[in-house]
């Protein structure tokens, strides 16, 4: 296999894993905060390969230790995940 083919296969596998995490957030099988940590781990392990996840790491500065902050953060995570899993039709 060519180097580019290996890189494409690796990126495709990572995108599939990220999509499964996003889908589990949208369907509420995974708590949004746990899902965000999983996405963050993927991004840290493979920097630059999952650019579509960038918006998750620029969420509003909410206090995750307060109940209101957690609720707002969870809503933001689910809303972003829905945009990727179910993009609006053009």
What pLDDT score does 60 carry? 72
Q: Report long-range pairs for 51-56 (Cβ below 8 Å, ≥24 apart).
A: 52/18, 52/84, 53/18, 55/80, 56/80
pLDDT along the chain (90 residues), means of 10: 64 89 96 93 85 82 71 90 84
What pLDDT score does 5 carry? 63
What pLDDT score does 63 carry? 65
- What CA–CA distances, in Å, run from 45 to 26, 68, 72? 23, 31, 27
What pLDDT score does 51 carry? 84
CA dist 65 and 46 (Å) reads: 28
């Amino acid at each position: 296999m060519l180097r580019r083919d290996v890189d494409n296969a690796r990126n495709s596998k990572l995108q599939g894993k990220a999509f499964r995490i996003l889908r589990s957030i949208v369907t509420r099988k995974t708590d949004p905060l746990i899902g965000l940590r999983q996405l963050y781990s993927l991004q840290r392990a493979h920097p630059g390969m999952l650019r579509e996840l960038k918006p998750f790491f620029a969420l509003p500065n909410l206090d995750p230790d307060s109940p209101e902050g957690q609720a707002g953060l969870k809503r933001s995570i689910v809303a972003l995940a829905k945009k990727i899993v179910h993009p609006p039709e053009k």
